Structure formats: structure tokens, C-alpha cells
Structure 1
Amino acid sequence: MLADLQDLSGETAKLAAAPLWPLADSELTDCLHAAYHLEQAAAALQARLVHEAAARGLPGAQGHRSTASWLRSRLRLDSPPARELADRATLLHHHPAVEQALLDGHLNTRQATAIATTLDAIPDELAALDQPDADANDSTQIVEQAQNTLIGMAARLSAFQLRRVGDRILAYVAPHLAERADEAALARQEARAQARRGFTLSAPVDGLVYLRGVLGVEDAATVQAALHPLCTPTPGDKRSPAQQRADALVDVCRLALRTGQLPDDGGQPPQVTVTVAYDPLAKALSTATTDTGQRLSATTARRLACDARILPMTLDGAGQILDAGRSRRLATGPLRQALAVRDRGCAHPDCDRPPRWTDAHHITAWADGGTTTLDNLVLLCRHHHRLIHHPAAGWKIRLGPDGLPDFIPPPDIDPQQHPRRNLYHPRV
């Protein structure tokens, strides 16, 4: 077998390097199908070889605690594809008919994995749901019907679609058992999801913190319901859907912090603490540091200073505290309410975010001596707050003669730079 594989590998490499321009369109398509079938057959062979190696105990004999670990070492694979290959080897071994369909070219590896996973999820005691004294062969027949049905559907359905069909396969092959079996399967699925749920944040890498987690269906629906209203695109919004969801998650957390209803953390309300140096001569903020030790740019520090609890401290040259002033919230309750009445939400042109999702932005920055008064404040959602503080964006804000905020667009948006207002929120 090794010699045949080496010959086949060599021939395949020659074909891969051959010029393709002489092929007619129909030949090109036929060759693509043939090459794809070759890849899938090779994947089936890999799975069989991996299972045989695991059955012989080769991974353990060579000092590995799992088949996936052994594959990472032998084939120089990353963890996800190594686990996927190890799992596929086990799945296909338990379902020889699915493996044969893969070898015959009726399935690809992802379809085969989806079908085998579906078959494994069908409970052994399935027939007993209907008749307590039913023969175990009845369950076997149902599994075989499900297997044949899914293999037949694979000619038209992708692996993703087969998984969705697999969730309700009993409605196709045993409709009289489907409802009770689905209830039992969902109960087991929810229990597994509850046990496996989790959420982690990585250490920062190049200014990014990676979020990873899994939720049960019920919890995911709650998160989606909270994020969805904040993911509606606004005119001129160039964020990707993923960026909108990321911003929405942060906005939900910011709202939770603002409500004051979260449990105390260390005897104080939960809050983001940022330390920033201020040069009174230059009237400028320098880079900031969070309470987790991460650095933020001066631009971000200026934006955070717009609507935050400020605790001024005087430090000596060695960084020792000489004097600590009283904390104060820049946009206090009555002032915040007045802003909400005037602006009715984010004041940026045509943004639809309501007041609860906004910050109070200083038109003349607090660090530059701007006052905390109604005529120097404007409500902005987090996205537009970041935009206004970005030097390259070019947007300017001023109050019009009627005391309402005007937004001056940059020349690349409007060469005449005509003032714009939000037309979505009715203002007084």
C-alpha cells in the first residue's frame, strides 16, 4: 500500500503542476470533480489509517495522551484540524455505510461527518418511546432508514443543511416518534450546553483582546435580543456586521454600568478606572493606563473624559499622591436630563440611538478648559463619539443660533461643508 500511495502522490503532484490552458471548459469542470473525489477518497483513507493507529495504541506508545496530540506531532497539524481528523476517524468507523458512501463519491467528508453525528444522536431506546416492549431491532431499522435518507439527500444538500435536516430526521423516517424523541433529545442537548457554557477574554495582543465562549440556545437568544436593536445600520455607517455586534456588546455593558444596579465591586460601584497625566502648561492629556495595566491613546483618554467620574490627583515627581480632590460626574442628573430633552438621543446627523445609549460629549474638550454646561455638551452614541474624537474624521460641532447642535461635515463628504442636524429625533 505504501508504494501505491507514493506512486499516486507523485502522479498527483505531476498533474497539479501541468498546464491547464489546453483544457476545454467541460474538461476543466470534469477534472475539478475528479480531483475533488480524489481528495475525499484520500480523506477517507486518512480516517481509516488514524483509526487503525488508535486501535493499536500507537499514540500512547509514542508518548501522546490523545490521538489528536499524536496527529499534531506526526502531521504538523494545528489543534482544530487534528481533533477534527481524530473525531472523523471514530465516527466513520462506527458507520461503515457512511464511509463507503464517502469512498464511492456520494458524500464529501463534511457531509459524512454531519450524517454520522446525526446517527449517533438518535437514542438507542428510540422504539421504546412508543412501545415499552418494542424490539431493539425496531430502533436499528429506524437508524438505517435515517442513514439512507440522509445519504440520499446529500446529492442536493450541503453539510450545514444536512445538520439542520438531521435535527428533525425522525419527522422523515418515524413521524409517530418524532415529537417525544425531540423532547428527550432537546433536554439532553440543553443539559450538555449548560455544563459546557463558558466565556474567556485573552490577554491583549497588538491592542486586541480575543473573546471566546459558548452559550446555550436560550442564553444566546437573550444576547441576540439585546444586541440586535443596536446593530441596525445607520446612514453612512461603514462598519461591518461583526464590528456592529462588537460595538453593541460594549454598549450593553456600558448601559449596565450606567444604571447603577450592578453589585458593588470592592465596596464601590463597578467602573472602568483610567489614570491619565495632564500637562497644565500645554493643556493636554497624555497616554492613559487602565486599572488592568493596559495603555490607551491620548485621543481615547480625551473621549473617556467627556462623560466620566473624574478624581483629580496631584502627584509629585516620584508619582506619590500629594493631594486628591473630590470626584464629580461631569454630566450630572439634571444636566443629563436637559440634554436628553434637547437632543432626544445621539445628535449626529440621522443616528437613531436613544439617550440611554449615549455619552455627554464636550464640544470644547474638558481638558482644554471646556465647561460642563448645556451649551458645551451634546449627546453622542459610542460609535459617533469615537468618530468625533478621531482627528482624521474631520467632523466639527457647534451650537446654532437656536441652541441646537450643528455638525459640520469634512470636505470629502460635503465640499461646501453645510451644517447638518439629526432629522430622526424630533427636538424642541
Structure 2
Amino acid sequence: MGIGEDIQGALSDEILATAVGDAWRLAEAELLDSVVRVSEEIQRLEALRVKLVGAVDHRCHVDVLGFPNAKMWLASKTLLEVGAAGRIVMLGRGLRFQPEIADHFFHTNISAEHAALVMKFCERPPKGMPDEALDGCRRALLLAATGPTANTDAVRAVIARLERVFESDDPPPSEDTERNEFHASKTLNGRVAVKGDLDAVTGEMLLSALSGLSKPRPAQDGTKDERTPGQRRADGFTELLRRYLDSGVAGEEGGERPHVSLHVNVKDLVDHGDCGAREPHGAPATGEGLFAVDGVAWTEWMGPLSITAARLLSCDSIVTPIVLDGNGSPLDLGVSTRTVTKRQRKALVARDRGCAFPGCGAPPSWCEGHHIVHWSKSGPTDMDNLVLLCGCHHRLLHHSDWEIEMGADRHPMFIPPRQVDWERKPIPAHNRARPGAA
């Protein structure tokens, strides 16, 4: 069944209708068959999504999307993480130029993962491979990727063999810096998964830097270090980052040297008298780059953090008071200059937590202060006329019909142009949106 055919037909029979209601009523053979058929349907729908997203990426521009690219738009409108949305966009974009691979994928002969592998090889073939060999290599890879028994290891093995066949005088894979990749992705449990593929020289630098920081450290009484090698390297990596940030050579983000910013209400810190913290003048306040989050600490990149961890970190922080009202909006700081002061920026981060544009939420370090009423039109530089926006949405607000007004709760509301919403209903800022809202 092709992608253009009736994609709902496979789910319309009595067995799958029963499975949706009460799977326990199905006999074992029917249960197994239902899982296989649902999986086939998901594959067809996934192929359709890639095709449609490819069209969105090709045809829809930032003024319609409201985002810098189709990846960010797709992530904001679905439950997809930005990385997963990006992979869909890149596959849809690439398949427009690879009709043979697209035909196999859209007819569900190969999976999205295998289509991406084959496409990547064809886009960046081995440097020593002649152009006339590409078609044959593509067919070999598609053959390896086709069929129910195909697996990613088999496809990668064919790619590796082809790379060896066409090896040239260019640097070997171990020294090819163009292959370097480093991924750091937030996981569902609030941690970060790190994955990298580095050339030999970079790997040597990394391992050399970690070596002295990840040695076993026996206790003072001689007790053996019980940490695993992986735990020791993780601790060494943490110390490496800490020393780098403390060194002051990391450049600037948002006008300040980057460091860990912890956002927490001081009241939550002093409730147990930890670290000798004191609440200034009895008012809610925040730590270095901080803001109040109703009993939960917050970091600019990773989001929520327990109050216990916040108390530990606050032992070594500089506390800067930012008084907040009942809605979590910083009170006017009383400074009216053209540029946003450092203290105003801290207050903007406290209120907006990143790019305020609906569905964006880019980290504060990527953002800048935007005047709702432009400075050139006598707009003051105070909190009720400022909003934190990433570079893309800052440009969008200056060059489109999107508008901003300050709501009754002193948080920004975004008014879309008529081409997005004919009624132009105000949309809450990103961090004020209801759960599940775009």
C-alpha cells in the first residue's frame, strides 16, 4: 500500500477495533497480529509526516511559521523534542533531492532511520569515490536496508565497506575533523545524555584533560575509591567544566561571563536556615540570575531543580534581590536608559525565563531585551515595556505584524497577524502557556 492510498484501511477491521477497547479479549495470535499491523500503520503515517513536513520546510517561511525554521515550529506544535523534529525536517528536505530513496521510504520498504543513513552517505560520499559509482552504491545500501530482517548494523557495515573501498589520500576517518559530532540532549528524567564522535587529536586532548581529574582517590584512612571508572570520568568532567567557567576565559553571554545560574526564591532557602542565608528586608528575592518559582528552583538550561540542590549551590552564590509581585513579575527597577541594564536583564530572566515568544522558550543566554514600544517612539526602558526575545523572534517582531501588549498580570501577551489568526486573539508568553498549549 502506497502513501497516497487509504492509510486508515488497515485499522478498520473488527480485531483492531477490539484491541483499542479491550486488548485482553484478543487471542494470542490476534494480539500478535494487531501489534504488527499497528506498527505497519505507524510506519505509513511516519512516512506521510516526513513528506508533509518536507513540504512545510520548502514552502513556509518565518512570517507564516512564527519560528526561525520548520524544526522549531514542529516541536512547538507537537509532543516532539526539538532534536527529533529536526531529524524529521532534515529527512524530508533531503528526500526531495533523492527520489530513489524517497520512493522506497514513502512506500514503507525502508525505515526512517535507514533512509537517513543511505541519504547521508549519498549526500557526503567518500572523497575518493567517482561520481559514476554513486548509483551502484545507493542500490547496494537500499538492498541492505530493505526487508523485515534489515537492521541498522547491516546498513552501517555496508557503508563502512564502501568507505574502505574508495579510501583516498584524504585523512583517515580517525583524523577527519569534518566527521566530529557532539550531542548533549536533555532526557525525560531531567538529566543530560552526552554522545560524541571525535577525531583522534580531539579525543587525545579530552582524555588528557580528564586523566588527572578522574584518578581513583582513596579516603584518608586508605579505603579504596569505590567509584566506577565511568563515575570517576563523570566527576572529572564536572570539575573540568567548573574550572573552565571559573577561569573567566569563556567569553560573554548576554553581556556577562557565563556561569551556572540558579533561580530560586530566597524564602525557600531560609526556611531551614541553610548556609546562613538571609532574606533581605522580608521581600522575595533571587540568587545570581535568579527568580522565584513557587517552591521549585530553576536553571536556565536544565529547568527544574530540587530545593535541596538549590540550598547546596546557594552556599557559594552571590545573592542579588529582585522583588517580585504575586504573579511572579519583577517590580519596576526604576531605570530608564536605552539599553537594558544588567539588573533589568536579571529581572527579565526572572519573569520570562527565556524567549517569551509562544512556543519558543530559547535559553536566556540566547535572548536580548526588546522594547514593546520602540525607544525611538519614546518607549521607556522599564519592565512593563520590555520582553526577552531570542534573535529570531526579535527580528520577527521588528519585521512582521506580530504585536505585544502587557497583560493585566504584567506579563507579555503576543498578538498574531491576521494571516496566522484572523481574530488576532492574544497568546500568553511561552512560560505562561497552559500545559499542552503550543
The reply to whether TM is greater than 0.5 is no
Return the structure number with greater relative CO, CA threshold 8 A, min gap 6: 2
Q: TM-score, normalised by structure 1?
A: 0.43
The structure with the largest alpha-carbon Rg is: 1
Structure with the higher helix share, 1 or 2: 1
TM-score normalised over the length of structure 2:
0.43
